[in-house]
Structure 1
Amino acid sequence: MNVKGLHHLSAMTGDVKSNYNFYTDTLGMRLVKKTVNQDDTTAYHLFYGDEKGNPGTELTFFDFPGIAPGKHGVSSISRTSLRVPSDVSLDYWEKRFDDRGVKHDPVAEHAGRRSLFFEDPEGQRLALVSDERNFGVAAGTPWAQGAVPSEHAITGLGPVTLTVRKPESTLAVLGLLGFKEKSRVPAFVADQPDIIVMQAGEGGSGAEVQVETRTDLSVASPGKGGVHHVAFRVADQEEMQAWINIVIQFRIPNSGYVERYYFGSLYFREPNGILFELATDGPGFATDEPFETLGESLALPPFLEPKRKQIESKLKPLDTRRS
C-alpha cells in the first residue's frame, strides 16, 4: 500500500477575484471547477489545474473574505511547488514575474532541480520547479487556451514543504503512507537540520514531500496566504477503504470516508498538526460540466443542488466566463 503521489493542495484567500485573476492570467492555470466549500457553503472553493484538473495538478483555494493574513511557522505547509517543463521555462517565468511585479528570488538550484521561489499577492510561498531532469509521476497537460505558451506552462504540483518542530513523528506517518527518504539537502537557515526529501510511488516532483525542521519558529497561524491541507492520491474506492482500515488500525483520529463527488476523501492530522487528506483519482471534474466550459458556472454536487438558490444568495458574484 503506497499513495501514488500528490493529488491536490488547498490554500486560503481573502480576495477571490484577485486570486482568480492571478492564477489564471499571471500563472496561466485553468480554473477547472468553481464550487463551494462543502463544509461552509458561504465560501467559494476554486480548483486550478491543467486542462481538465487531472489528479496531481490541482491547486485549490477556499475564499474567506476579509480573513487576516496567515503567520508562517511550524506545523504548517510552508511552500507549494508547481512544475514547468524545462530550465529555459524558468527564464521565461523570471521575465514574466519582473514584467508583472511578482515578488520572487533569483533562479537557483534546490533539491536537485532548478527552482524559482516566488509569492502570490497574498504572500503564499510558492516555487516553480523545472522538470528538465525529472523522472517519475507524469506531468499534466496544459490547457491549449491558457495565458502562457504550452512550452512553458505549469503542468502540475511539485514538491510540497512541511515545516515542523519534531520531524520524527511526521516522517513516521509519511512512512505509513509509503514515502521513503530520497535525500537530504542543506537547510535554508543556519544551525537548522538538513531538509529531508521524501518520495512515494513512482517518485519525481509529483510525488515529493520535503520535511523542514525549524526549532526557531513559533506555530503558524491560519489566514490568507496560508495552506489548509495537502492531499495524496489513491487509485479508487477499493483502495480508499483499505486506507481507512489502516488508519483505524493505527488508531489515528480521522474523518472517516467523506464523499466530495468529484473524488472521495479521508482526512486526518499527522502528529505535528498538519492536515493530510487521501483522495481518489476519480471520478473527476468533467462529471457535471462539459470539458469546454469547465469552471465557467457555479457547480454543485447533487447533495447540494436543492440548496442552490440559498447558496448563490450568500456568495459574492464571481464572473469566470471565458471569451
Structure 2
Amino acid sequence: MRSPIVGLHHVTAFSSNPQRNLDFYTEILGLRFVKRTVNFDDPGTYHFYFGDDAGSPGTIMTTFPGPRSARGQAGVGETSHVAFSIPLASLDYWHTRLTGLGVLVERTGKRFSEEVLTLADPDGMKIELVGTADVIAPKAPRFADVPAEHSIRGFFGVSLLLHAAEKTAAVLNMMGFAKVAEEGNRQRFSAPGDALGNHIDLVIDPAAKYGHFGAGSVHHIAFRAKDDEAQKEWRALIEQTLDVTPVLDRDYFHSIYFREPGGVLFELATDNPGFATDESIDTLGERLCLPEWVEPQRAKIEARVAPIELKKSLQKAQVTA
C-alpha cells in the first residue's frame, strides 16, 4: 500500500535583501535558521531554510534571497498566501508582538472554524497565522525570544489562486487530499490526519490576472513523501497524467517536481535524511553548507554572497558566509 502524503514538507519563495530576510523569519517570527546553503540550480545565490528547532518536515519556510531581485506580482496560478499554525490562545500575543515590532497585521477574522491574522514579509509575501485549538506540542527554536507556548508550530497550509478548481482538485484528490469545506470562492482540501500543513485552499477568481515571479513570490510548494520508496511509488502514479522530473538529490531530501494544471509548481520531497547531515543539531544554520559537487567553488561563492549576521537571543555572533 502506498504511503500517504500527509501534508506540506516546505514552501519556497523568492526574496531580496538576505539580512532583512534572515532577521524577519528569525527575529520577528521566531523561527530557527535551520540551514544556509546555496540554490543548487544557481550556486551563486543563497538558499535559506527556516523552521522549528529540529528543522522538521512541515515547518520549513525556504527562501532564495537575491539582493538585486525586483518585487514580484502575485497572480493566478500561484500560491497567494502561506499559513502557519499557532495556538488559538496565542492570537493576542502575536497581534501585540507584531504591532510592537512595526509589522502591519490585520485581524482577518474567522475562516471556516479558525481565526486568522494576516501580514506580509519584507518582500510582500502574504503570511497568515491561523489560530487552532488543537496544535502539536512545540519544538520551539532555542534562540528565539518567542515563548515556547506561543511559538509557531509549522505550516497550517497554503492558498492557491486559480481561474478554476476542477483540474487542480483532481490532482489533489489523486494525492489523497479531499474537499472538506467551501466558503464563498474558497474551497478547502485536506489530507487525513493532523500532520502540519495538511490544508490546501483553492481560491477561485475567473477574472484574476497573471502575475510575475520576483521577490515576495512563492516559487513552489513541497509535499511530504515518507521515504525514497514512497516517492518512487507516487512518481509512478503522477507520471500517468502529468509531466514529472526525475528524482533530484537536494542533500537534505530527495525531490521530484511537477506542475499542476492550474499552474502551481508542486514538489514531492522525502522526509529524510534531514538537516543534521552536515552540521550538528546544536549549530544548525551557523555556517555556509555546500553540496559536495559545489565545494571546490567555496572561495568563489563566499566572495560573491553577502555576509550575514545571525542574531541569537541567547548569544550574539557575527557569522559571515
2:221 maps to amino acid: V
How many residue pairs get aligned? The number is 311
SS at match of 2:197: helix
> 1:235 maps to which residue?
226
Structure 2: distance between partners of 1:245 and 1:168 = 22
Q: CA deviation at 1:300?
A: 1.2
Structure 1: distance between partners of 2:28 and 2:39 = 25
1:116 maps to amino acid: L
Deviations 1:263-303 (A, max 9, x none): 00000101121100000001100111011110010011223
Structure 1: distance between partners of 2:193 and 2:88 = 22
Indicate the RMSD between aligned Cα atoms, in angstroms: 1.5
1:305 maps to amino acid: E
159, 162, 184: which one pairs with 1:161? 159
2:297 maps to amino acid: K
Say if 1:297 and 1:321, in contact at 8 Å, map to a contact too.
Answer: no
User: For 1:122-137, what aligned pairs fall within 5 Å after superposition?
Assistant: 122-133=123-134
Determine if the alignment matches structure 1 residue 152 to structure 2 residue 150: yes
Deviations 1:191-225 (A, max 9, x none): xxx31100114146621100010122111211111
217, 227, 230: which one pairs with 1:226? 217
Q: CA deviation at 1:256?
A: 1.0
Determine if the alignment matches structure 1 residue 108 to structure 2 residue 109: yes
Further displaced range: 6-15 or 202-211? 202-211
296, 299, 303: which one pairs with 2:289? 299
Structure 2: distance between partners of 1:156 and 1:23 = 13
Q: CA deviation at 1:111?
A: 2.2
The sequence identity of aligned pairs, in percent, is 37
User: For 1:5-44, what aligned pairs fall within 5 Å after superposition?
Assistant: 5-44=7-46
> 1:118 maps to which residue?
119
Runs of 4+ in 1 over 6 A off after TM superposition: none
* TM-score (norm. length: structure 1): 0.92
Structure 1: distance between partners of 2:107 and 2:31 = 22
Say if 1:74 and 1:218, in contact at 8 Å, map to a contact too.
Answer: yes
Say if 2:8 and 2:196, in contact at 8 Å, map to a contact too.
Answer: no
Q: CA deviation at 1:321?
A: 6.3
> 1:249 maps to which residue?
240
Say if 1:26 and 1:147, in contact at 8 Å, map to a contact too.
Answer: no
Determine if the alignment matches structure 1 residue 289 to structure 2 residue 287: no
> 1:191 maps to which residue?
none
Note closer, same or farther for the CA distance 1:71–1:274 as it changes in structure 2 (3 Å cut). same
> 1:97 maps to which residue?
98
Deviations 1:233-280 (A, max 9, x none): 010011111112112222x11221000010000001011211000000
Determine if the alignment matches structure 1 residue 184 to structure 2 residue 182: yes
Structure 1, unpaired ranges of 5+ = 187-193
Structure 1: distance between partners of 2:44 and 2:155 = 27
Structure 1: distance between partners of 2:244 and 2:138 = 30
* TM-score (norm. length: structure 2): 0.93
Deviations 1:136-180 (A, max 9, x none): xx4651113312111111110112000100211111111111111
